[in-house]
Amino acid sequence: MVAHHLAEQLVTRSPEGAWQLTVLGEEDAAPYDRVHLSDFFSGSDARALTLPGTPWLDPRVQLRTGDPVRSVDRDARTVTTRSGRVEAYDQLVLATGSWAWTPRTEGTDLPGVFTYRTLADVEALRDWVARRTEELGRPLAGAVVGGGVLGLEAAAALQKLGTSATVVEFADRLMNVQLDDGGGEALRVLVTGLGMDVRTSTGATRLGAAADGAVATMDLSDGSSVPADVVVFSTGVRPRDRVARESGLAIGERGGVVVGPTCRTSDPSIWAVGECASFEGECTGLVAPGNAMADVVVDQLLGGSATYRPAADGTKLKGVGVDAASFGDVFALTPGALEVMFADPVAQTYRKLVVSDDARTLLGGVFVGDTSLYSSLRPMLGRPLGADPSAFLAPEGGAPAPGPDLPDDVVVCSCSNVSAGTVRAAVTEHGCTSVGEVKKCTRAGTVCGSCVPLLTKIVNSTLESAGVTVSNAMCEHFAMPRAELFALVRRDGLRTFTQVVEAHGTGRGCAVCKPAVASMLSSTNAGHVLEREHAALQDTNDHVLANMQKDGTYSVVPRVPGGEITPEKLVVLGQVAAEFGLATRITGAQRIAMFGARIDQLPAIWRRLVDAGFESGQAYGKSLRAVKSCVGQAWCRFGVQDSASMAVRLELRYRGLRSPHKFKVGVSGCARECAEARGKDVGVIATEKGWNVYVGGNGGFTPRHAELLAEDLDDDRLVQVIDRFLAHYIQSADRVQRTAPWVAEYPGGLAELRRVVVEDSRGIGAELDAVMAEHVAQYTDEWRATLDDPAKLRQFVSFVNAPDTPDPDLVYAPVRGQVRPARAGDDVADRNPVIARTLEVRS
């Protein structure tokens, strides 16, 4: 990544210069985004991770991959690659990075043991889990050695691949380099809640093998042993300095090529940047200082005088499902430093600021469970806070986070070393008119992305100061935001897209506004989603009331309110799945999903389910997905309220409620939080006095814990507060905006949202109550309504000109007693989908 940045900066800063640059790399792939390597397990592939190829388009730059340098001849000024190719140089930059260090543990050479460093590592890990799972016929037991940032990302990756995850950390806490004791313990609680088994203060001593020679167990130094069908070592990195060492360059005591402020090595013609460079005895392990070194080298090569000074490190945990971040003097090592902490064990959040002895200057910060302050406070490192530190941490502190009026020299994006002044100049001097253009111009926000919220504020503020109106139009056909259009649709009683666009828009609509308007019409009870012209507005899933899968078939997910289901209904689901050859799976929302239904089979499946008392689970729409619940007071000896009954009540109340984005609800019967309510858009947790309600949480790509909105509510008051919150969200959120960013961006923050929803400060409570009452009164099951309408049923065919012919291209392979879409190399006995699936399920 650092070499890519160097090439990019050289091209950008010397567009007409007479120079030639050759970049030699060991990996076969072009430079890729190693910071987001874990995104590989969330659907990204090598192409999605590849960094922009702009530098390689310049004729002065040559990129050669898969042929690393093996030796350097400093006298002849040449390098020799693995293939024997000899390249001459005038100036040589070493950007060889680091390698994943593995401790001397017996068994690390067994099949099934991996490191977590390169694209090849994650591809091999994915392939092993898939192959070994089929060989053993069961989910694998996974283990990760190392509880740092990468170790936790690796554990999350194992979970995404369907394995369990045990994290083994030799230190006494997770992320021990970045978090203090309080932050480490808070992170342990959150990570354990994700289903990971955390073992600290112990290490791996031996890996045992199964009968076929693959890894199977891990012995620990505390005398215990854990099953381990796949093991990932993430125990730190070491600088790759072999080539430099063998060529006689000065090497640091702890490794790495010694460099000075100009990033020159002991040979004035050779430079070193990134993780292989040792500056003042330290090697960096982050991309931001590596990029800063690359900037210095480029400036020096072009005749400048820039020098490198390390900035305080900042780290943010990504892709795990919990939030943790830190920056600066985390452990308060600065003489006289003060620590200001706030911990909420119920909300499972921990915040700490480290400040100077006069409590004015920010020296560092730790955030676990809620990192919303990280992006805005980190740029203030070493600067006056402007308020009592505790005011930033306590929920009702009231101190606003630093906003778009930061001084020009404050670094907004540390990864690319972009200051607030550079961002403003991109708007005022380079004509950028959007965040996307500023990111392209400055590279800010293009690496880890944590600075994007602050970047957006600065860009919009600068545009407004320059007299440029910041557009909030929903699309080219509607010159207003979604919330304003929604209010007009509701006020005017509009019932079709044609009426909406004639009254308030232009043209014929697009893929942006049509689904958004369709959601508005559904939210205002304008009729079934497949009625009249509504059907043409829907996204693919809404159009057929089912979720499309990778092979073009659909999933069927009936509603199971609160996760409660009778034995008789369980039998029906089994019978339907067997009759239609469907694969079944219990979902995280406490439902049973059936996969592999052809479009022409959907009505017949729905008929069987509706007759048995089921209805649509709405798993396909931007609407309520499910209300997850624990067993609560009814069965659990710790339960203090009847969470199961409350979950059923809420799900039956909000079923079919269309909204700007999907939303989920959780109800836990006590503070042990077995329903994971804090990870939902609306979370309800029982107390001895009633219910606490939390809002704005979600899992997925950007996990966030919900925040406390109201506490100790009785049943009816709880329902009223949730009614008002959801109705207000539906009316005022942007298109496809989940509750988490809506709550985070709410004007006045959570305190103002509480005043509006709970205290009814604006006097709109009765209106919000009426909106929800209307929805409840007019709810109809979309499956049943479709089955009762022959016109709607006519669209559920595989081929319009051959409605009775099933799709012949659907082919399935057996896996663990069920089926999945066939892949290349699968042994499929019969290409006829009905016969093939029936034979495989029976076998």
The contacts of residue 573 (CB under 8 Å, 6+ apart) are 558, 584, 592, 594, 609
Q: Is residue 830 part of a domain?
A: no
* E strand intervals along 28-97: 61-64, 69-73, 78-81, 86-88, 92-94
**What is residue 373's predicted lDDT score, i.e. its pLDDT?**
84
Same domain (yes/no): 130, 45: no
The answer as to whether 835 is a domain residue is no
* Structure tokens that stand for 807 in this block: 């799709």
* Spatial distance between the Cα atoms of 326 and 192, rounded to a whole number of angstroms: 20
- Please give the pLDDT value at position 831: 42
Task: List, in order, residues 6 or more apart from 777 with CB less than 8 Å away.
Answer: none
The answer to whether residues 254 and 123 touch, using CB atoms and an 8 Å cutoff, is: no
Alpha-carbon distances, residue 277 vs 22, 150, 244, 285, 761 (angstroms): 20, 21, 10, 10, 58
Instruction: Give me the mean pLDDT over the 450-455 stretch.
Output: 76
Query: Which tens digits make up the pLDDT trace of 431-445?
Result: 888 777 888 888 887
227: tokens are 């099953």
Amino acid at 729: Y
The whole-angstrom separation of Cα 29 and Cα 153 is: 22
Residue 408: pLDDT over 80: yes
**Cβ atoms of 391 and 397 closer than 8 Å:** yes
Across 22-49, average pLDDT: 85
Verify that 505 and 644 share a domain, yes or no: no
pLDDT surpassing 50 at residue 281? yes
Domain-embedded: residue 770: yes
Q: What is the mean pLDDT of residues 266-293?
A: 93
| CATH for 44 | 3.50.50.60
Judgement on whether residues 226 and 138 belong to the same structural domain of the protein: yes
User: In the prediction, which pLDDT does 340 show?
Assistant: 93
Over residues 150-200, the pLDDT tens digits come to: 999 999 999 989 999 999 999 999 999 999 999 999 999 999 988 999 999
Confidence band for 704, pLDDT divided at 50, 70 and 90: confident
Report which of 769, 657, 649 is spatially closest to residue 721, judged by C-alpha positions: 769
Q: Which residues, at least 6 apart from 806, have a Cβ–Cβ distance to it below 8 Å? A: 598, 600, 798, 833, 834
Domain of 627 in residue numbering reads as 622-780
Q: Is 448 annotated as a binding residue?
A: no
| Res. 536 pLDDT band, cuts 50 70 90 | low
- Band the pLDDT of 689: cuts 50, 70, 90: very high
Average pLDDT over residues 363-390: 86
Specify the pLDDT at position 437.
Answer: 82
CATH number for the domain that contains residue 682: 3.30.413.10
> Using CA atoms, how far apart are residues 32 and 121, in angstroms rounded to an integer?
14
Q: How far, in Å, CA of 338 to CA of 358, rounded? A: 8
What does the pLDDT read at residue 838?
A: 43
Least confident of 124-138, 287-301, 804-818: 804-818
**Cα–Cα distance, 372 to 374 (Å, whole number):** 6
| Higher pLDDT, residue 167 or 17 | 167
Q: Are residues 655 and 719 in the same domain?
A: yes
The pLDDT-based confidence of 477 (bands split at 50, 70, 90) is confident
* Alpha-carbon span 103 to 236, nearest angstrom: 10
**What is the model's pLDDT at position 829?**
47
Side chain identity at residue 839, one-letter code = L
- Of 48-62, 314-328, 445-459, the range with the lowest mean pLDDT is 445-459
Instruction: Report whether pLDDT(832) > 50.
Output: no
For residue 835, name the pLDDT band (cuts at 50, 70, 90).
Answer: very low
Q: Are residues 520 and 488 in the same domain?
A: yes
**pLDDT surpassing 70 at residue 836:** no
Confidence of residue 403 (pLDDT cuts 50, 70, 90): low
Residues in contact with 514: Cβ distance below 8 Å, sequence separation at least 6, in sequence order: 497, 536, 537
DSSP string, 340-372: EEEEETTTTEEEEEEE-TTS-BEEEEEEES--T
Same domain, 407 and 394: no
- Is position 799 within any domain? no
Mean pLDDT, to the nearest integer, of 583-591?
90
Q: Is 388 exposed, middle or buried (0-12, 13-18, 19+ CB in 10 A)?
A: middle
What pLDDT, on the 0 to 100 scale, is given for residue 533?
Answer: 63
pLDDT above 60 (res 546): yes
Q: How, if at all, do strands 663-668 and 682-687 pair?
A: parallel
Domain boundary among 233, 252, 279: 233
Supply the DSSP string of 190-208, one letter for each residue. HHHHTT-EEEES--EEEEE
pLDDT at residue 787, rounded to an integer: 93
pLDDT at residue 701 is higher than 70: no
Please give the C-alpha separations between residue 714 and each of 312, 636, 719, in angstroms, as whole numbers: 48, 20, 9
Is 636 annotated in a binding site? The answer is yes
Known binding residue 674? Answer is: yes
CA distance 682 to 650: 11
In this structure, what are the phi and psi dihedrals at residue 594, rounded to the nearest 5 degrees?
Answer: -120, 130
Copy the structure tokens of residue 654.
Answer: 């909000």
- Asked if 652 and 561 touch (Cβ cutoff 8 Å), the reply is yes
Q: Which of 780, 812, 829 is the last residue of a domain?
A: 780
Residue 704's contacts (CB-CB under 8 Å, 6 or more residues apart) are 323, 370, 696, 697, 698, 740, 744
Q: What percent of the chain has pLDDT over 70?
A: 92
d(CA 669, CA 643): 5
Mean pLDDT across the stretch 511-527? 81
Residue 52 tokens read as: 């922009």
pLDDT of residue 833: 45
Distance (Å, whole) CA 249 – CA 255: 12
For every residue of 109-163, DSSP letters joined together read TSTTEEESSSHHHHHHHHHHHHHHHHHHTSPPPEEEE--SHHHHHHHHHHHHTT-
Q: What is the pLDDT of residue 88?
A: 97
Residue 657 has pLDDT above 60, yes or no: yes
Of the chain, the percentage scoring pLDDT greater than 90 comes to 55
Report pLDDT for 619. Answer: 87
Distance CA 103, CA 146 (A): 11
For residues 495-526, one letter each, b for 16 or more C-beta atoms within 10 angstroms of the residue's C-beta and e for the rest, the string is bbbebbbeebbeeebeeebbbbbbbbbbbbbb
Indicate whether 330 belongs to any domain. no
- Give me the CATH number covering residue 466: 1.10.10.1100
Side chain identity, residue 644? A
**840 pLDDT exceeds 50?**
no
pLDDT digit string (tens) for 750-809? 888 999 999 999 999 999 999 999 999 989 999 999 999 888 888 887 765 666 666 666
Residue with tokens 């000896």: 637
Residue 124 and residue 260 share a domain: no
- Confidence band (pLDDT; 50, 70, 90) for 400? low
Question: Which of the two residues, 832 and 704, has the higher pLDDT score?
Answer: 704
Q: What is the pLDDT of residue 839?
A: 40
Query: Are the CB atoms for 329 and 354 separated by under 8 Å?
Result: yes
Measured CA to CA, the distance from residue 713 to residue 371 in angstroms comes to: 28
- Quick check: 509 and 497 in contact, CB under 8 A? yes
**In this structure, is residue 323 part of a structural domain?**
no
432 is in an annotated binding site: no
Judged against a pLDDT cut of 90, whether residue 815 lies above it is answered with no
HSE at residue 379, side-chain half, CA atoms within 13 A, is 29
pLDDT, tens digit, 9 for 90 and up, residues 520-531: 888 887 677 676
Q: What was the pLDDT predicted at 802?
A: 60
**223/275 same-domain check:** no
Give the three-state DSSP class for 278: strand
How far is the C-alpha of 106 from the C-alpha of 376, rounded, in Å? Answer: 46
Residue 784 carries which side chain, given as an amino acid letter?
A: R
Asked if 347 and 300 count as a contact pair (C-beta separation under 8 A), the reply is no
User: How far apart are alpha carbons 43 and 126 in whole angstroms?
Assistant: 12
What distance in Å separates the CA atoms of residue 611 and residue 605, rounded to the nearest whole number? 10
Structural domain total, the chain: 6
Residue in this structure with the two tokens 């921990």, named with its chain if needed: 350
Residue range 88-108: mean pLDDT, rounded: 94
Domain membership of residue 373 (yes or no) is yes
Last residue of a domain, one of 470, 490, 512: 470
Sorted by sequence, the CB contacts under 8 Å of residue 218 that are 6+ apart come out as 143, 145, 166, 168, 204, 206, 207, 208, 225, 226, 227, 228, 231
Residues 638 and 731 in one domain: yes
Mean pLDDT over each residue of the chain, to the nearest integer: 88
Please check whether residues 491 and 356 belong to one and the same domain.
Answer: no
Please count the other Cβ atoms lying within 10 Å of the Cβ belonging to residue 146. 29
pLDDT in tens, 303-351: 999 999 887 668 888 778 788 999 999 999 999 999 999 988 877 889 9
Shared-domain flag, residues 265 and 176: no
* Angle of CA points 33, 36, 41, to nearest 5°: 120
- Torsion of the alpha carbons at 782, 592, 813 and 134, rounded to the nearest 10: 150
**Residue 378 counted as domain residue:** yes
Is the entire prediction scored with pTM above 0.85?
no
Tell me which residue of 682, 754, 748 sits closest to 719, measured CA to CA. 682
Contacts of 718 (CB under 8 A, 6+ apart): 646, 684, 690, 691, 693
Q: For residue 700, is pLDDT > 70?
A: no
Task: Name the token pair of 786.
Answer: 């479709």
Distance CA 831, CA 812 (A): 8
Q: How far is CA 526 from the centre of its chain?
A: 34
Residues 503 and 390 in one domain: no
Which of helix, strand or coil describes residue 301? Answer: helix
481: pLDDT strictly greater than 90: no
